[in-house]
Amino acid sequence: MLLLTPEKFTDYELLDCGDFEKLERFGKYITIRPEPQAVWSRKWEVKEWEKRAHVRFVPKSSSAGTWKKLKDMPDQWRMQYAFNKTDVICFRLGLTSFKHVGIFPEQAVNWEYIYNNIKTIRKTIDQPRVLNLFAYTGGASLAAKAAGADITHLDSIKQVVTWAKENMELSHLDGIRWLVEDAMTYVKREVKRGKKYHGIILDPPAYGHGPDGEHWKLEEMINDMMKYVSELLEPENSFLVLNTYSLGFSSLIIKNLMEDHFGKRGAIAECGEIYLQATSGVVLPLGVVGRI
């Protein structure tokens, strides 16, 4: 089983976590945010957290809240991730009302996988076609474009797609195809069209809605989604990444899905967990991943 954590994300650092919170550095600024996985006690004292932090998220409901600034900092700032000296992607971060800042830094392990696979495929195919579903602010899309892919980026929230476009421009990239649409509706249509992709990336939420109110619930719909995705993926010179962040969703579930839908084609599957290593010494699990 894979155990994956980012190893060269110099602009990000998990400092400590526990008591259902995490202390993180994004570029120059340090945040305190809720973290439902951190059921243990924090390693550092509360006063140490508050001494270091610039801002703390204060929940007002299960899905929203406000930020309390402990030190002077802007509402928006930037950070970057470097694949090498020439291929660097940039992100505009912001203090949102739903506790996120615009990036899931643990996903850097998948960005590396996407980037490296596209570079390999490009040895025989000039511009591999890649589909990024549930694409959020576009970290995986930027990785694919930086590696030279023809990338289609899909998310159901217009404001998030606009944010992803801004990240593309900050990264000095262009040519990403943007779609505001329901993921299941789109893949069904692509199957009917006979479309094929060399890479497919999925990072679905536990639950959500499409732009026209379409329903999504991970455990109810992921099997159908994988069926359609298997029909869209090229049989050779291709890769797939399925990442899930859902409490209680096992990597063995991902393994079974991979074998069910891709086993007959002889695809090489690997599954495991993604985590972040805190400076304080504790390890924070942040989802399960499957790759072929």
Q: Which residues of 221-239 are buried (b: 16+ CB within 10 A; e: fewer)?
A: ebeebbebbbbbbbeeebb
| Residue 5 confidence (pLDDT) above 80 | yes
What pLDDT, on a 0 to 100 scale, did the predictor assign at position 263? 87
Residue 41 and residue 18 in contact, taking contact as beta carbons nearer than 8 Å: yes
Task: Name which of 160, 217, 226, 138 is nearest 187 in CA terms.
Answer: 226
Whose CA is closest to 225, among 244, 249, 211?
Answer: 244
What percent of the chain has a predicted confidence (pLDDT) above 70? 100
Asked if residue 248 has pLDDT above 90, the reply is no
Residue 165 CB-density burial (10 A; 0-12 exposed, 13-18 middle, 19+ buried): middle
Pairing relationship of beta strands 88-94 and 207-209 according to DSSP bridges: unpaired
Residue 36 clears pLDDT 80, i.e. is over it: yes
Strand pairing partners for 13?
25
Give the separation between CA 93 and CA 232, rounded to whole angstroms: 33
Supply the CATH classification number for the domain 2-77.
2.60.40.1180
pLDDT grade for 180, boundaries at 50, 70 and 90: very high
Instruction: Report pLDDT digits (tens) over 133-168.
Output: 999 999 999 999 999 999 999 999 999 999 999 999
Q: Is the pLDDT of residue 247 over 80?
A: no
Sheet with 55-59: strands ordered across:
12-18, 21-26, 29-34, 55-59, 65-69
| pLDDT tens per residue, range 206-237 | 889 899 999 999 999 999 999 999 999 999 99
CB atoms within 10 A of CB 242: 25
Dist CA 72 CA 121 (whole Å): 46
pLDDT in tens, 103-140: 999 999 999 999 999 999 999 999 999 999 999 999 99
Instruction: Output the pLDDT for position 27.
Output: 97
Q: Give the bridge partners for 80, in sequence order.
A: 90
- The residue ranges of every structural domain in the chain are 2-77, 104-291
pLDDT in tens, 52-75: 999 999 999 888 999 999 999 999
pLDDT, mean over the chain? 96
Q: State residue 194's pLDDT score.
A: 98
Point out which residues pair with 285 in neighbouring strands.
275
266 vs 197: CA distance, rounded Å: 18
234: closest CA among 116, 112, 121, 110?
121
Residue with tokens 């900050």: 170
Whole-structure pTM value: 0.96
- Report the CATH number of the 104-291 domain: 3.40.50.150
Place 1 in a pLDDT band, splitting at 50, 70 and 90: confident
Q: How confident is the model at residue 242 (pLDDT cuts 50, 70, 90)?
A: very high
Buried b (16+ CB within 10 A) or exposed e, 25-53: bbeebbbbbebeebeeebbbeeeebeebb
d(CA 55, CA 75): 10
Q: How far apart are CA 287 and CA 290, in angstroms?
A: 10
